[in-house]
Amino acid sequence: MPYRRGRTTSIVSGGTRVKFSVLGGSGAWPSAGQACSGYIVEQNEYRVLIDPGYGVAMLLSGMVPAYAIDAVLVSHGHPDHCADLNPLLRARALDDVTRDPLPVHALTGSLDKVLELDRAGMLDSAYSLRSFEAGERISVGPFAVKTRLLPHWLPNAGFRISAQGASITYTGDAGPSADLVELARATDLLVAEATYVDAVPGDSLGFLSSARDAGRQATDARASRLLLTHLWPGTDPLAAERSARSQFSGSVAVARPGMTMTVGEP
Amino acid sequence: MPYRRGRTTSIVSGGTRVKFSVLGGSGAWPSAGQACSGYIVEQNEYRVLIDPGYGVAMLLSGMVPAYAIDAVLVSHGHPDHCADLNPLLRARALDDVTRDPLPVHALTGSLDKVLELDRAGMLDSAYSLRSFEAGERISVGPFAVKTRLLPHWLPNAGFRISAQGASITYTGDAGPSADLVELARATDLLVAEATYVDAVPGDSLGFLSSARDAGRQATDARASRLLLTHLWPGTDPLAAERSARSQFSGSVAVARPGMTMTVGEP
């Protein structure tokens, strides 16, 4: 039975595990048939779509109806992390059945360009924009979400998404920072942008991370598991995994479409 | 050997057939795992991508490198027909190898919003915008393209794409019109938007077509073959096919991903 706002938590106590699914994890643009960033965090059938990047709406449409997504959470306004919000909202706005507006949580102003792709007003009924400022704590269905500004070219929010003691921390796109280590402290799963393998080139230094950076920060935060994502197209995933493992002794994997992981008590 | 501008036509006379491939044909938004509008017209390895709708860049990335597309041709500025131009240009702008700018042919101003998804200047090196006004004849590699304004909510160009006597006519999204019948006169393949099966609802009347409209217009134009596309999500393709066949005695099919057709002399 789907979780619905307004119900008491006792109704959802049947399962405390949080499921994390990968739709795509290609960095910057879709490559080798893989979508860009797109993840689902789910508990008791309440599904939060994180970062609807290029290709994600098409993949989703083959898996669940658009109305099976209960909320959207966006790290930042680069289109490889949010462009497919537009078709997702179309699917809900233009469908025959009237549904509740989809809560879309994003940094203030970050979705302006994507929301302007269609004519003014066309998608208004389909969403309810819940703008936040980095640093705020927000509630998304059964999840408590801590947000934190992490270094990128434009404002980027990292998320620590928690429910009943389990947590997943997601960096969006971000250069290494003490803020991430603090946000990810003892998290069950750190999902970390790792655009590069060992070293970030000079022009991106401080704004993006390597798999090595991600491994080091997972160690510093004492995270349980590390999932590398947003690899630059063409990157060897095994090389990224090795680089992270050189810094982190916990479980390391590279995001690939269809992968699912669970956190929390069974 | 790829066709390149500047070579004499004798070099490409090895094959006169024109190949048409469907990447996606879902109307309005991706549905059932199918991308929105996206087609490739190809002769002698010169590939024109028509209408890069949602999901198309991801599909393409699994088939050919982004640089294997030689030109883009866009019917109109609705994002289900052009949103994935942005990731396609990213793939070319951010790749390590410098390539010639991609010629992008579109109605003046129709791509403004899509081209603004990334920060100003970021994609400039990746494309050369060839704006046209509906009614102009343009050259795209080996193809002569007649353009015609066809009725839609915003300016929409129909195309008659010809090479060495073979032609494909594409409606973009359009209500029925004598202009289409004239544009498609005796064309080898009419690729027609058929959002509805039998009747277009009142609020879309004149701006979109049914499969029945498409069949009638194929007959009026004396087209050889008809390919229905842009069906409203959830539409039964067999019902659309039947409706078109009631008006047109030539070959009728419904676009599906991976479908290819050839026109012209072998």
Cα atoms in the Cβ-side hemisphere of radius 13 Å centred on A95: 20
Report the relative pairing of strands A143-150 and A137-140 from DSSP bridges.
antiparallel
pLDDT score recorded for residue B252: 98
pLDDT score recorded for residue A105: 98
**Residues A72-93: tens digit of each pLDDT:** 999 999 999 999 999 999 999 9
Cβ neighbours of B76 in A, within 8 Å: none
**Residues A195-236: tens digit of each pLDDT:** 999 999 999 999 999 999 999 999 999 999 999 999 999 999
| Closest by Cα among B255, B250, B219, B249 to B235 | B255
pLDDT score recorded for residue A15: 62
CA-based nearest residue in chain B for residue A37: B58
Q: What is the mean pLDDT of each run of 10 residues along chain B (266 residues)?
A: 33 66 97 96 96 98 92 98 98 88 98 97 96 98 98 98 96 98 98 98 97 98 98 98 98 97 88
Contact B43, B167 (CB under 8 A): no
Mean pLDDT (chain A, rounded): 93
- C-alpha B235/C-alpha B218 separation (Å) is 21
- pLDDT at residue A14 greater than cutoff 80: no
**Residues A23-41: tens digit of each pLDDT:** 999 999 999 999 999 999 9
- C-alpha B38/C-alpha B214 separation (Å) is 19
- pLDDT at residue A13 greater than cutoff 90: no
CA dihedral B104, B108, B109, B115 (to 10 degrees): 10
Residue A4 confidence class, pLDDT cut points 50, 70, 90: very low
Q: With an 8 Å Cβ cutoff, are B58 and A54 in contact?
A: yes
Select from B54, B62, B66 the Cβ nearest to the Cβ of A57. B54
Residue B100: both structure tokens together = 């010639």
Residue A9 confidence class, pLDDT cut points 50, 70, 90: very low
CA-based nearest residue in chain B for residue A59: B33
**Residues A111-144: tens digit of each pLDDT:** 999 999 999 999 999 999 999 999 999 999 999 9
- C-alpha B173/C-alpha B194 separation (Å) is 8
Contact A198, A210 (CB under 8 A): yes
Q: Is A206 on the interface with B (CB under 8 A)?
A: no
- pLDDT at residue A8 greater than cutoff 90: no
pLDDT score recorded for residue A42: 97
CA dihedral A33, A156, A167, A66 (to 10 degrees): -50
Sign of the four-CA dihedral B115, B117, B120, B126: negative
- pLDDT > 70: percent of chain A: 94
**Residues A92-108: tens digit of each pLDDT:** 999 888 889 999 999 99
- pLDDT > 90: percent of chain A: 89
- Give the mean pLDDT of A6-15: 37
pLDDT score recorded for residue B15: 62
Q: With an 8 Å Cβ cutoff, are A87 and B83 in contact?
A: yes
| Closest by Cα among A176, A142, A130, A134 to A43 | A142
Q: Is B55 on the interface with A (CB under 8 A)?
A: yes
Cβ neighbours of B62 in A, within 8 Å: 32-34
Test the A interface: residue of B23, B56, B61 with most A CBs within 10 Å? B61
Residue B188: both structure tokens together = 């080898």
Residue A22: both structure tokens together = 């990968």
- C-alpha B215/C-alpha B168 separation (Å) is 16
Q: Is B84 on the interface with A (CB under 8 A)?
A: yes
Transcribe A62-85 into DSSP letters. Answer: TTS-GGG--EEE-S-S-HHHHTTH
Residue B251: alpha-carbon gap to chain centroid: 19
Residue A11: alpha-carbon gap to chain centroid: 26
Q: With an 8 Å Cβ cutoff, are B61 and A91 in contact?
A: no
Residue B162: both structure tokens together = 């010809």
